[in-house]
Amino acid sequence: MSTQDMPQAEPEDAYRLRAEDTRDAPTTLRGRLRYLGPGIILTASVVGSGELIVTTSLGARAGFVLLWMVIVGATVKVWVQMELARWAILNGRTALAGYSTVPPRIGRMGWINWLWIGLDVAKNFQRGGVIGGTAAACSILWPIVGEPLSSGSLGVWAVIITALTIGLLRSNRYSVVEVITTWSVAIFTLSTVAIVLVLPFTPFAYSPGDFADGLGFAIPAGTLGLAIAMFGSTGVGADDMTNYTYWCLEKGYGRWTGPDDGSEERARRAGGWIKVMQLDVFVSWLICTVCTLSFYVVGASVLQPQNLVPEGNAVITTVSRIYTDTLGPWAEGLFLIGAIAVLFSTNIASAAAVPRLWTDTLGLLGVIDWHDVRVRARALRAFTACLPVIWLLMFLFVRSPLVMMQIGAIATGIFLLAVLIAVWRLRTLEVDPRFRRNRWLTAAFVISTIGIFLLAVYTVLEVFGLEFG
């Protein structure tokens, strides 16, 4: 038999559940830790734009008084993320595929899918802001053209960062994304926590009383809007929850669970991989919360007493004062290296996730066959090459990373309510009752729903010009 006549091996497909791909889940904590990963990618996406710039800015404005809101904002939304990921693992389907089943449908997709498209257009500004923030840090560390924050230096670095992103993600392999984000998150998390531990030995020391005030669950007059903004910007957002289902499936949680044949063996296997996912979510939440608290504390301790609020292209320089004011001028280089690591990892996480969502959208619209691995790979490569260039142009046009990130954050807050509606429907109709029996998880999901609903109501009212506090 000639080589041409031999049957071609079917390419591995993380989005297809086959009986021959099943694998028993580990039953020990050590074994489960070996299969973590999707949450780390999500952490890179959240920590970069939200915590480094937005949360630090909020700490600089509010001081310690809203510290409790950081914890609430980082904790409440993970239960929705967990519910959506469980549905994805059990059904082997992506979040966008689930959204498309929520009525009313508009054409070939559900209304939430069209809302996501609008969100993603707005998020282009935020992603451009991440490229801009990375370019600013690189430019300060090594100005290639002119002064550190000159247009020429920022522009050249932005182009280099975009080209490097496209080059690294050319293969579109999950493992590449996981390795880059894991190392980047580890580097900057450790450096930021170290700063918090050093602060008590500097002129910007915090006291137990500061933490007591910050954990008093109070919202002082005039800070309600800031508190709501903090709740919306910290922790996972609606787009992060959506992206997480893709990473869970590409890691293998769904494929190893296998198709639903109604057997107890499959239910046992599914329960095992869901527990791995839940541990992955918990570890991700823990890292995000520690990072968020660290950024907020240093913003409140170092920047707020000096009336320094990160603004415009100087945002990186202002945030770097956290390091230089506590450790001395030499620490600026340390901060810049860490900032480049975390912002670039966020850029990598976005540039890896968004092409998958747009490719999935083309499949839902009937433009391509999402389940054809080769067709899907070609579309992914095309989006991976084009989308970072669009984000680059967004930055070159707006030139204000913080404003660009705030535009994306507002759009994410509006989309969050739609995701909540979808998760309730999918949980009720497409999740076996055996996987919904945990009363504690159900109670946490209900509390999360209430918090997100109140955030959405506030956001809508603010859009129409109603002021609070």
Residue 178 has pLDDT above 80, yes or no: yes
Task: Say what the pLDDT of residue 129 is.
Answer: 81
92-135: pLDDT as tens digits = 999 999 999 999 999 999 999 998 998 888 788 778 888 988 89
* Residue 269 binned pLDDT confidence (cut-offs 50, 70, 90): very high
Residue 416 CA neighbour count, 13 Å, CB half:
35
157-171: pLDDT as tens digits = 999 999 999 999 988
% of residues, the chain, pLDDT over 90: 42
Residue 146 has pLDDT above 70, yes or no: yes
CA distance 373 to 386: 20
Task: Say what the pLDDT of residue 369 is.
Answer: 96
From residue 128, alpha-carbon distances to 109, 123, 131 in Å are 28, 8, 5
**What would the mean pLDDT of 42-58 be, rounded to a whole number?**
72
* End-to-end Cα separation, the chain, in angstroms: 79
Which residues contact residue 83 at a Cβ distance below 8 angstroms, ignoring those fewer than 6 apart? 423, 426, 427, 445
Task: Say what the pLDDT of residue 2 is.
Answer: 41
**What would the mean pLDDT of 67-96 be, rounded to a whole number?**
92
CA distance 89 to 255: 8
**Burial of 448: CB neighbours in 10 Å, binned 0-12, 13-18, 19+:** buried
* Residue 3 binned pLDDT confidence (cut-offs 50, 70, 90): very low
- Spatial CA neighbour of 174 closest among 87, 254, 269: 254
**Burial of 296: CB neighbours in 10 Å, binned 0-12, 13-18, 19+:** buried
Q: Tally Cβ neighbours within 10 Å of residue 215.
A: 13
Residue 53 has pLDDT above 70, yes or no: no
* Residue 7 binned pLDDT confidence (cut-offs 50, 70, 90): very low
Identify the bridge partners of residue 106 per DSSP, sorted by sequence position: 109
371-383: pLDDT as tens digits = 999 999 999 999 9
**Burial of 377: CB neighbours in 10 Å, binned 0-12, 13-18, 19+:** middle
- Answer whether 191's CB lies under 8 Å from 294's CB: no
**What would the mean pLDDT of 34-59 be, rounded to a whole number?**
79
According to the 3-state scheme, what is the secondary structure of the chain? CCCCCCCCCCCCCCCCCCHHHCCCCCCCHHHHHCCCCHHHHHHHHHHHHHHHHHHHHHHHHHHHHHHHHHHHHHHHCHHHHHHHHHHHHHHCCCHHHHHCCCCCEECCEEHHHHHHHHHHHHHHHHHHHHHHHHHHHHHHHCCCCCCCCCHHHHHHHHHHHHHHHHHHCCCCCHHHHHHHHHHHHHHHHHHHHHHHHHHHHCCCCCCHHHHHHHCCCCCCCCCHHHHHHHHHHCCCCHHHHHHHHHHHHHHCHHHHHCCCCCCHHHHHHHHHHHHHHHHHHHHHHHHHHHHHHHHHHHHHHHHHHHCCCCCHHHHHHHHHHHHHHHHCCCHHHHHHHHHHHHHHHHHHHHHHHHHHHHHHHHHHCCCCCCCCHHHHHHHHHHHHHHHHHHHHHHHHHHCCHHHHHHHHHHHHHHHHHHHHHHHHHHHHHHCCHHHCCCHHHHHHHHHHHHHHHHHHHHHHHHHCCCCCC
- Spatial CA neighbour of 171 closest among 7, 358, 21, 348: 348
Token pair, residue 174, equals: 């999950």
% of residues, the chain, pLDDT over 70: 85
Task: Say what the pLDDT of residue 382 is.
Answer: 96
CA distance 110 to 99: 6
211-240: pLDDT as tens digits = 888 888 777 666 666 666 667 667 788 888
* Residue 5 binned pLDDT confidence (cut-offs 50, 70, 90): very low
Token pair, residue 392, equals: 């680059």
Task: Say what the pLDDT of residue 466 is.
Answer: 56
- Answer whether 388's CB lies under 8 Å from 124's CB: no
422-459: pLDDT as tens digits = 999 999 999 998 898 888 999 999 998 988 887 666 66
pTM of the predicted protein model: 0.88
The b-or-e profile of 170-205 (16+ CB within 10 A means b, else e) is: eebebeebbebbbebbebbbebbeebbebbeeeebe
Identify the bridge partners of residue 105 per DSSP, sorted by sequence position: 110
Left if phi > 0, otherwise alpha if psi is -120 to 50, otherwise beta: which for 23? beta
Task: Say what the pLDDT of residue 407 is.
Answer: 60
Residue predicted with more confidence, 297 or 226: 297
Domain boundaries, the chain: 25-463
Task: Say what the pLDDT of residue 346 is.
Answer: 85
Token pair, residue 47, equals: 């920590």
Task: Say what the pLDDT of residue 62 is.
Answer: 80
Residue predicted with more confidence, 407 or 367: 367
* Residue 292 binned pLDDT confidence (cut-offs 50, 70, 90): confident
- Spatial CA neighbour of 207 closest among 67, 82, 64: 64
Specify the CATH class of 25-463 in words.
mainly alpha
